[in-house]
């Protein structure tokens, strides 16, 4: 009890000695740098509206920096706007513009390095190379930021939110558009990406590399070069996201390459060239997802093993499942397929005849993409009907033995 009283007393004393410094072009303290210089750990620096061109602003003290009505921090295309290193630093309410661009150095509007317990919230970032760049840091929150770029080619573009070699990062409620990748994780662990909107980015809405034990949920990935790429990673949970309008010759809702022990649950794949591409994937649960109006709902390559594709709805897709081989080492039972033409005599909701979701035509296209121009021709329809009756080319073992007669309520 005495210890608790002592802790409360110390906290109250620290709070009592903290001060608020006002920065403004009509105030005694006219520059943000001067406000930071005057501040001590625990202090708050409030910045009044205006345009601040102060070069690169460095924050290493444990302070709170608050912008009133979004004062502008202008890098003038010469410098990074702000460098943060240390602990317990909060930055909110600013508009960062015109960070320096480079095709070989990762300049950013906000650069967080060797830091912990950093909060970047409710900021606007416009025309940055990298908007928010985090490296070698832990327990950081990136929340409610609006990030807008105008990148046109991948080689000269940076990422919206770029996290490298970090852990316990929360990326939530951000809007990112016009960058190379909306969100990029490399060597990042035990982190959470939720409720973000990643739209109109050149390459990926979200990109994972070597990043384990992470979770992303309730995000929107729309009209990107591809929705999400997860590569060389294990134990990733992907739930309740929307992947839509990711169109292009090599575009996907999700691209999975060499992924193990992960989950794809309760997502919507709507109007993508390919909903999910799985290559070299093992022990992935793909359950309770909706695939609607995609070119290919799923492409599951022959080098995938022990994956479970179950209780999903496949509706209005040009092709439901495609593969590049005859070996099948994953299960596809208990899904709803709108192309299923079987019957249910005992009325238990399960089709009495197994369903083969891979069409002969899709196998032909895998080997000869130019054959796509025959789509919806009578010849293709006839060949597919014959193949379903007497399978010869399509993988016989890729079959749903318990197709449902009605779609799931997802």
pLDDT per residue as tens digits for the range 211-233: 999 999 999 999 999 999 999 99
Across 191-199, average pLDDT = 98
Contacts 24+ apart (CB under 8 A), 370-379: 375/318
Across 143-156, average pLDDT = 87
- Give the Cα separation of 162 and 165 in Å (integer): 10
Whether the predicted pLDDT of 274 surpasses 50:
yes
Q: Of residues 327 and 299, which shows the higher confidence score? A: 299
pTM to 2 decimal places: 0.88
Sign of the CA dihedral 203, 204, 205, 210? Answer: negative
Across 368-377, average pLDDT = 52
Inter-residue contact 290 to 312 (CB < 8 Å):
yes
pLDDT at 207: 96
Whether the predicted pLDDT of 105 surpasses 80:
yes
| Phi/psi at 385 (5° precision) | -65, -40
| Closest C-alpha to 183, from 206, 212, 154 | 206
Query: Of 89-98, 140-149, 297-306, where does mean pLDDT reach its minimum?
Result: 297-306
């Amino acid at each position: 009890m005495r210890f608790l009283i002592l802790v409360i007393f110390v906290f109250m004393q620290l709070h009592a000695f903290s001060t608020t410094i006002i920065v403004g072009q009509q105030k005694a303290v006219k520059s943000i740098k001067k406000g930071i210089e005057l501040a001590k750990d625990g202090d708050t620096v409030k910045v009044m509206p205006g345009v601040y061109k102060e070069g690169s602003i460095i924050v290493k003290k444990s302070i709170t920096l608050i912008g009133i009505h979004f004062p502008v921090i202008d890098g003038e295309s010469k410098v990074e706007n702000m460098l943060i290193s240390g602990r317990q630093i909060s930055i909110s309410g600013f508009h960062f513009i015109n960070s320096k661009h480079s095709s070989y150095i990762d300049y950013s509007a906000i650069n967080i390095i060797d830091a912990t317990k950093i909060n970047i919230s409710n900021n606007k970032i416009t025309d940055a190379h990298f908007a928010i760049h985090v490296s070698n840091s832990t327990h950081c929150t990136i929340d409610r930021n609006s990030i807008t770029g105008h990148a046109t080619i991948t080689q000269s573009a940076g990422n919206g939110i770029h996290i490298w070699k970090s852990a316990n990062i929360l990326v939530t409620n951000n809007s990112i558009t016009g960058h190379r990748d909306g969100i990029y994780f490399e060597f990042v662990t035990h982190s959470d990406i939720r409720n973000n909107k990643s739209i109109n980015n050149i390459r990926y809405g979200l990109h994972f590399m070597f990043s384990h034990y992470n979770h992303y949920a309730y995000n929107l990935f729309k009209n990107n070069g591809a929705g999400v790429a997860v590569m060389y990673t294990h134990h990733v949970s992907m739930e309740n996201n929307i992947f839509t309008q990711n169109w292009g010759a090599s575009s996907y809702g999700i691209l999975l390459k060499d992924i193990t022990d992960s989950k794809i649950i309760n997502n919507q794949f709507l109007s993508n060239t390919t909903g999910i591409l799985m290559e070299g994937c093992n022990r992935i649960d793909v359950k309770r997802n909706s695939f609607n109006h995609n070119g290919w709902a799923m492409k599951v390559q022959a080098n995938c093993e022990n994956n479970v594709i179950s209780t999903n709805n496949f509706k209005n897709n040009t092709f439901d499942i495609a593969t590049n081989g005859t070996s099948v080492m994953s299960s596809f039972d208990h899904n709803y397929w709108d192309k299923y033409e079987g019957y249910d005599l005992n009325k238990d909701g399960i089709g009495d005849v197994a369903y083969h979701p891979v069409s002969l035509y899709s196998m032909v296209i895998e080997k000869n993409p130019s054959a796509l121009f025959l789509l919806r021709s009578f010849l293709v329809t006839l060949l597919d009907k014959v193949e379903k009756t007497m399978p010869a080319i399509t993988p016989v073992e890729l079959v749903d033995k318990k197709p449902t007669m009605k779609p799931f309520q997802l």
